Chain A
Amino acid sequence: MPVLEELPPVEALVPHRGPALLVDRVVAMSEDRLECVGRIPVDSAFADGEAAPCFVGLELAAQAAAALEALRHRRDFPNAGPQIGYIVGIREGRFEMGEIPLGQELRAQVRLLGGASPLAMHEVRLFHGEIPCLSAQVSTYRAGRAFLATLKDAR
């Protein structure tokens, strides 16, 4: 996978902010794969002492998938801002660790399995050093602001 030297900041790819933003930076990307590093922040809402339950790492992996989708979307729409990518399904997930230490660097790898925009399915993996944390197949829906307004109006 080629290492990317010039990429937009992660804030331009995903809408998460503050303690909800788990991806630090994208480090490599190809047509259908992306690798990034991130962490579960010490002020995470899911923190339990000095760690968080392993399944919280799914959020980081899903943000990596959202970053891949955003970068693919920007090829066609170069000025597109970050769009909200909702997790709509997890086909199967395995959590290899009981918990993940807070604030320590994690590495997420995602691979696009298929889908039709705005729906996409990715295989995601998360590592702490060389130790596997989790793996899953995650489906996401990339929603624009207009879609969100529609949801609110429908209530």
Chain B
Amino acid sequence: MHHYRGFTLLEASGAAGAHRARLRLEPASPLFAGHFPGHPVLPAIAHLGLALGGARGLEDRELTLVGVRGIRFRRLVEPGEDIEVIVTRGLEAGALRFELRCAETLASSGMLVVRADARA
């Protein structure tokens, strides 16, 4: 199942309550269109989309993002970079912790609050 729209999935694995995936952010991705002219960077909401993709991979079902907590964006992500997505279960039901890493550096992290999608 491919949970990551707009990215090329290079590898994915899941074990012991954790989901890991490595993706490539293609330079021609529409995510960069107009964001920003002359200095394309991945929009912050795309980080959340990637994290939600990892959450869906972890739970192996469709999920809706209903909240976020303590999100930190620490590094700009540029076209052509590879991203590692790591999602683990939090202590509360429906709470999932994520990290996005680029070149061994933390790009963003925080907590997702999700609910199972009724359409799933």
Chain A interface residues (CB < 8 Å from chain B): 15-21, 45-46, 48, 53-56, 58-59, 62, 84, 86-95, 98, 136, 148, 151
Q: Which residues of chain B come closer than 8 Å to A56, judged between CB atoms?
A: 45
A98 interface neighbour in B31, B39, B64, Cβ under 8 Å: B64
- Residue B70 lies at the interface, judged by CB distance under 8 Å to chain A: yes
CB-based contact A15/B66 at 8 Å: no
- Residue B13 lies at the interface, judged by CB distance under 8 Å to chain A: no
Instruction: List 14 A–B pairs whose Cβ atoms lie within 8 Å, in order of A's numbering.
Output: A16-B34, A17-B36, A18-B33, A20-B35, A45-B30, A55-B45, A58-B44, A58-B45, A91-B69, A92-B67, A95-B65, A95-B66, A98-B64, A136-B68
Q: Which residues of chain A come closer than 8 Å to B73, judged between CB atoms?
A: 86-89
CB-based contact B67/A95 at 8 Å: yes
CB-based contact B36/A84 at 8 Å: yes
- Complex CA gap A87/B110 in Å reads 14
- Complex CA gap A21/B37 in Å reads 11
Q: Count the A-B residue pairs with Cβ separation under 8 angstroms: how many? A: 89
- Residue B10 lies at the interface, judged by CB distance under 8 Å to chain A: no
Which one of A20, A56, A84, A151 has the greatest number of beta carbons of chain B within 10 Å? A20
Q: Which residues of chain A come closer than 8 Å to B71, judged between CB atoms?
A: 89-91, 93
Q: Which residues of chain A come closer than 8 Å to B94, judged between CB atoms?
A: none
CB-based contact A151/B49 at 8 Å: no
Given contacts A20-B34, A84-B36, A98-B64, 10 further A-B contacts (CB under 8 A): A19-B30, A19-B33, A20-B33, A45-B33, A46-B45, A59-B43, A87-B44, A89-B73, A90-B71, A95-B64
